[in-house]
Amino acid sequence: MKQPDHIIPRDQHTVSRKDISDSALKVLYRLNKAGYDAFLVGGGVRDILLGLNPKDFDITTNATPEQIRALFRNSRIIGRRFKLVHIMFGREVIEVATFRAHCDSNIQQAKDGMILRDNVYGTIEEDAERRDFTINALYYNVRDFSVHDYCNGLTDLRKRQLRMIGDPETRYKEDPVRMLRAVRLATKLGLTIEEKTLEPISRLAHLLEQIPAARLFEEYRKMFLAGKGEAMFEALQTHGLLSKLFPATEQLLAAHPDFESFIQAALENTDKRIASDNTVNPAFLIAVFLWQPLLERAHQLETKGHSYNDAFFKSMGLTLAEQSQFISIPKRYSLVIRDIWAQQIRLPQRHGKKVWSVLNHPRFRAAYDFLVLRAESDPSLREIADWWTKFQDADKAEQQAMLPKNRRRKVKRRRKPKNKD
């Protein structure tokens, strides 16, 4: 029997079970065994076809969330815009979604075309159509090892091009985050954005203003903590999206080439850390992006009569508050950002007890890294950065020798009580 054109048999594609995590396979098998259709979809299939290691596995099925939940004890239903089931296997989470319809009268749309709620189940064909890019709408069926391709995703993958399903402008209006996803996926995977998919982006960039700041924080993480931050920053600039995410940063770039090279150095450094499996805190790059805006505002406050320290600390709060209107920064990260910044004032003051409190500060390492990166584009900071590089690795005696004034004061103070005894 001849298969329909959109079904590609196992010998004509490169997806194989050995590339799929055991947990994802377990979920697929169990859903199949219970009589449901179940497919691996999205980034998982796309990345395997590109010869990459998927970062996570998404599954889609005709079982409802309640039916899925009933099959897996280790699962929970989560629901924001659309109900999903998370199945937990230790630290790995497999996300299972029910086929979703796209253009249904039940979809609530705002006047400008943005989808507000679309909790409507559909067929696999409908599910494919409501996905964003053709290469994200490939389905792997573990029952017969075939790949279902309803939107010509395989052709686009071969051409290494990112193409929106349907009319790009309409799809960006429905969900403006798709513009960020286009730029992110093209950068991450080294794909060209197809002409019609690319064209509306800079024109519609302003629609990102409607997106909740919390969602944009999640997108920020995906864009900058996936190992291609430097290219990402450049792509966002090119497509006019950076000004919608970090407006204060964007505004100052042209006038401050040293700020731009500081950002570049930080991004390069972050990418290297990720490549060698070092941890990266999402706060660090935000602290970098907002550094010049912080200084500018501090300077303005100073001219209004505030002391330098006062102006700097006031500016920290104002700069973070302003940025949070665009990308919300969870408290645990804004605290880190404040610490990194505050230490920039303390690091140059190398005398007295302050040196030890700076060195023992929980954020010393991040603050020091920040200083070193600043020094790369500001030669006047090199001496201080080098001093700290040497100081932190020196033994106690060497450290004391690096603090001549401090030592004299300490000796005096210590001797007094001893003499009294």
CB proximity list for 204: less than 8 A, separation 6 or greater: 169, 172, 173, 176, 179
Between CA 383 and CA 366 the distance in angstroms is: 18
Residue 42 near residue 20, CB atoms below 8 Å: no
CB of 74 to ligand ATP, least distance (A): 20
Query: Catalytic site residue 58?
Result: yes
Catalytic-labelled residue, pool 37, 56, 104, 378? 56
Distance from C-alpha of 74 to C-alpha of 92, rounded to nearest angstrom: 11
Q: Which of 295, 382, 397 is nearest to 341 (CA)?
A: 295
How many other C-beta atoms are found inside a 10 Å radius of the C-beta of residue 257?
10
Q: Please confirm, yes or no, whether 132 is among the known catalytic residues.
A: yes
139 binds Mg ion (CB under 5 A): no
User: CB 225 → ligand ATP: shortest distance, Å?
Assistant: 11
x/- track of binding to ligand ATP for residues 38-67 (CB under 6 A): ----xx-----------xx-x---------
Q: Which of Mg ion, ligand ATP, none does residue 230 bind to, with CB < 5 to 8 Å depending on kind?
A: none
Among 48-56, 140-148, 295-303, 329-337, which window interacts with Mg ion (CB under 5 A)? Answer: 48-56
Is 43 a binding residue for Mg ion by CB under 5 A? The answer is yes
The secondary structure of residue 190, as a DSSP letter, is T
x/- track of binding to Mg ion for residues 60-89 (CB under 5 A)? ------------------------------
For tokens 């408290």, name the residue: 331
Burial 347-384 (b: 16+ CB within 10 A, else e): beebeeeebeebeebebbebbbbbbbbbbbbeeebeeb
Nearer to Mg ion by Cβ, of 58 and 250: the residue is: 58
The footprint of Mg ion on this chain (CB under 5 A) covers a number of residues equal to 2
Nearer to ligand ATP, 70 or 110 (CB): 110
Question: According to the binding rule CB under 6 A, does residue 222 interact with ligand ATP?
Answer: yes
- Can you count the helices (H) and strands (E) in the chain? 22, 12
x-or-dash string of contact with ligand ATP, 112-151, rule CB under 6 A? -------------------xx---xx--------------
3-state secondary structure of 403: coil
x/- string (CB under 6 A) for ligand ATP, residues 176-195?
-xx--x--------------
| 169 near ligand ATP, rule: CB under 6 A | no
Q: Which residues are catalytic?
A: 56, 58, 132
